[in-house]
Structure 1
Amino acid sequence: MDHGEVARDWIQRGFSCGAFTDPPGCEWRDDVHDADELITVVEGRLEVLVHGEAYALEAGDELYIPRGATHTVRNVHAGATRWLYGYD
Structure 2
Amino acid sequence: MDMEAIQQDWARRGFSCGLWIDPPGQVWRDYTHPADELLMVMEGELELEIDGRTLRPRLGEEVFIPARARHTVRNVGGGTARWLYGYRR
**Normalising to structure 2: TM-score of the pair?**
0.96
Partner of 2:78: 78
Which stretches of structure 1, 4 residues or more, deviate above 4 A after TM superposition? none
CA offsets per residue over residues 11-58 of structure 1, 9 Å max, x none? 000000011110111011100000000000111111000011001012
Instruction: Establish whether residue 60 from structure 1 lines up as the match of residue 60 from structure 2.
Output: yes
Letter in 2 for 1:6: I
SS state of the match for residue 56, structure 2? strand
Unaligned runs of 5+ in 2: none
State the one-letter code of the partner of 2:29. R
- Partners in 2 of 1:45 and 1:77 — Cα distance? 5
For residue 15 of structure 2, what is the aligned residue in structure 1? Answer: 15
TM-score, normalised with respect to structure 1: 0.97
1:42 maps to 2:42: yes
Measure the CA separation in 2 of the matches of 1:40 and 1:74: 13
Aligned-residue identity in percent: 52
* Equivalences, count: 88
| 1:77 Cα deviation after fit | 1.1
Q: Is the 8 A contact 1:27 1:73 kept in 2?
A: yes
State the shift of 1:66 in Å. Answer: 0.3
